[in-house]
Structure 1
Amino acid sequence: MSPARVLVVDDSAAMRAMLTRILAQDPGLEVVGSAADPAEARTLIKELNPDVLTLDVEMPGMDGLTFLERIMRLRPMPVVMCSTLTARGTEVTIEALRLGAVDCIAKPSTTAGDLAAAASVLCRTVREAARSNARPTADPPTARPLASGAWRKDMVILVGASTGGVEALFTFLGALPPDTPPVIVVQHMPAGFTAGFAERLDKTVPARVLHAADGMSLAPGQVLIAPGGATHAELGTGAQPKLRLRSGPLHSGHRPSVDRLFSSAVPLGTSAVGVLLTGMGRDGADGLLALRQAGAATFAQSADSCVVYGMPRAAVEIGAAGSVMPLSRMADAVLRACRVPSSKD
């Protein structure tokens, strides 16, 4: 395969030189140009047709988030936000991911030990982003109000996502009504970011969104976002299932793991609905299969609507997905699986 063509956008000449030097050492990447501001970047995108862009947040004339939004609406392409702000600014990071950035990473430090680790992360992230599927940013669909009692009261919706999942979750959860059946979400995200993610979602989508804590009860109209980093999220058994946060090693390469969440809900049988959205790797595929074998309705996001068709692909390949659905239709399909059967069924 030919190296991925990279355009570096940063207002600092020293940082452009550093990023270029790091990326040029990777045989899978070719830096085709660099730009100091969005105006220059627009010209070079047209001239050089890069495969992937690294983009700073703070730049003269137009900030990186505004430029990112315009890129994703007018000329969608894989973008990696690379900024000092993304390391400490949760809101900036989440907004960039919502707008369609594939990933957000901190700028490399000049400290030798830190630089080596940061260089590895930078190259790997840009390589993976270059293989992703960039699409125009879409506004979340409006949730359709449904009559009270439209679905079974014992239903629980379980959702797993990774790369591209922030944008996908804004769309999926934005299409669920305020009294949706309870939802539990595992989104692969570093510790320290999931609380801000839950807060931002709560301000945006119709349902109430909470950062999960151990022992939380499940309730209609409520979405629980599993904390990143330290624990796995599981569904406790009992007459009134509760969310449990369990310590333990990485599972399927992650903590929290989608597989752990899905597998813990197997005792619910037909009362569970499993949803696997865009993401790299295969976390969630085995758990989704276990759910399907227990009688649950299971869904995987379609390739054409995924940023990265990794986790859903793995689920489809092992027969774990009862339905493969574009993101735009996922919420309606999931709610139909939760509805009370009518006399016509």
Structure 2
Amino acid sequence: MTTKIKVMLVDDSAVIRQTLGQLLSADPELSLIGAHSNPIFAMRAMEQQWPDVLVLDIEMPGMDGLTFLRSLMRSRPLPVIICSSLTMSGARSSVEALAAGAVEIFAKPMMSSKEDLLRVGRDIIQAVKSAAKAKIVKQQQSGALNHAAQQQLLARATNHDQHDQARLLVIGTSTGGTQALEFILSKVPATLPPIAIVQHMPAAFTKAFAERMDHISAMTVVEAEDNQLMRSGHAYIAPGGLHLQVEKRGHELYTVVRDGPPVSRHKPSVNVLFSSVAREIGSAASGFILTGMGDDGARGLLEMQEQGAVTYAQDEASSVVFGMPKEAIKLGAVNHVLSLQEISVKLSKIRP
């Protein structure tokens, strides 16, 4: 008999607790072990039974969700999904929560009615199941390396290719990707070619995420808009709910941001970005697929590789979820498998 995933819900909305609690309880793979109105009650309950996944609101009276999350991540880390409002303050707090160790965000409906919640129930349940498979990466991953370790990483990253040049870098990621991107973008120089990024994230959160990345990176990081000239030293993050592609016009590259149906169950989709890069510039690009659930990006990365692009995947040890990299490797789409540390070194060496 398969062990059910133990889920705890913390939200000050009675409608959310009742309706979302019913959805979670009805799924045969899940067991709702508590639905609490604030973190104080949740902490008492967690002393008796520890959840596999915590679904956590951010903006609550008393102890807010962000403070609670940071306390948990210091004492006993576990997969946490953020349940957030679509306000700008909610988006910024949610991005801070991702930086503190949460693995996923889902957006509360604009109206917290039962009908609205039922419409997003499938996404909520899938987010919980994905989070249950996540590995919480220890903080030492982002710590400073000693000189010997830095030299080892530099040697390994340098030996993968005979050149370190590209017109464009593309990155695709999902669960755990916000921490991976923060790690990478905080370390790369402003001399890199343009970077196009798809991070699976709901609409209204990607702008706040781009603002945070811009603050910590030497590069200029923005939420991508349609028809932007792609410049060296700039990173373009696909907006939630829209697809990002790249188009070559003469000698220049431009962003193309469009609506459309989900591809590989996602919008934005990594496959959509990677396929456009394979079609438009082929071997002049390098592709990186990072931590994430599912197989989005594998087929697009193979298309890039078949057009001569050098392709990379994050290794299992440093991934929160080794789903997307594993599928790309299985498909034969990956030239090199690197740790997150090695990927940051490799990226830092690439020049336009």
Distance in 1 of aligned mates of 2:234 and 2:254: 13
Residues 235, 160 of structure 1: CA spacing in aligned structure 2 closer, same or farther, 3 A cutoff?
A: farther
Matched residue, 1:131: 133
Residues 162, 121 of structure 1: CA spacing in aligned structure 2 closer, same or farther, 3 A cutoff?
A: same
Matched residue, 1:263: 275
Instruction: Specify which structure has the bigger relative contact order, considering alpha-carbon pairs within 8 angstroms and separated by 6 or more residues.
Output: 2
Matched residue, 1:327: 340
Matched residue, 2:226: 214
Residues 254, 10 of structure 1: CA spacing in aligned structure 2 closer, same or farther, 3 A cutoff?
A: closer
> Is residue 2:168 matched to residue 1:156?
yes
Per-residue CA deviations over 1:111-156 (Å, capped at 9, x if unaligned) read 3422322433333322222222223356856799x9xxxx866532
C-alpha contact (below 8 Å) 2:189/2:348 kept by paired residues? no
Report the Cα offset of residue 160 of structure 1. 0.9
Aligned-partner residue type, residue 115 of structure 2? G
* Structure 1 alignment gaps of length 5 or more: 341-345
The CA RMSD over aligned residues, in Å, is 3.0
Matched residue, 2:160: none
Report the Cα offset of residue 256 of structure 1. 2.9
C-alpha contact (below 8 Å) 2:58/2:90 kept by paired residues? no
Matched residue, 2:46: 45
Per-residue CA deviations over 1:31-65 (Å, capped at 9, x if unaligned) read 22344543443343343122111222234542211
Which of 325, 331, 335 does residue 312 from structure 1 map onto? Answer: 325
> Is residue 2:177 matched to residue 1:177?
no
Helix, strand or coil at the partner of 1:235:
strand
Aligned-partner residue type, residue 50 of structure 1? P
Matched residue, 2:82: 81
Aligned-partner residue type, residue 348 of structure 2? L
Helix, strand or coil at the partner of 1:157:
strand
Report the Cα offset of residue 196 of structure 1. 2.3
Residues 211, 18 of structure 1: CA spacing in aligned structure 2 closer, same or farther, 3 A cutoff?
A: closer
C-alpha contact (below 8 Å) 2:15/2:113 kept by paired residues? no
Aligned-partner residue type, residue 309 of structure 1? F
Distance in 2 of aligned mates of 1:26 and 1:119: 11
Q: Report which stretch shifted further, 204-213 or 234-243.
A: 234-243
Distance in 2 of aligned mates of 1:61 and 1:112: 25
Distance in 2 of aligned mates of 1:322 and 1:223: 23
C-alpha contact (below 8 Å) 2:134/2:320 kept by paired residues? yes
Distance in 1 of aligned mates of 2:258 and 2:210: 20
Matched residue, 1:121: 123
Report the Cα offset of residue 236 of structure 1. 2.0
Number of aligned residue pairs: 334
Q: Report which stretch shifted further, 239-248 or 278-287.
A: 239-248
Matched residue, 2:157: none
* Structure 2 alignment gaps of length 5 or more: 155-162
> Is residue 2:30 matched to residue 1:29?
yes
Q: Report which stretch shifted further, 111-120 or 134-143.
A: 134-143
Matched residue, 1:303: 316
Percent identical: 40
Q: Report which stretch shifted further, 31-40 or 126-135.
A: 31-40
Matched residue, 1:291: 304
C-alpha contact (below 8 Å) 1:186/1:233 kept by paired residues? no
Distance in 2 of aligned mates of 1:248 and 1:10: 33
Distance in 2 of aligned mates of 1:227 and 1:107: 18
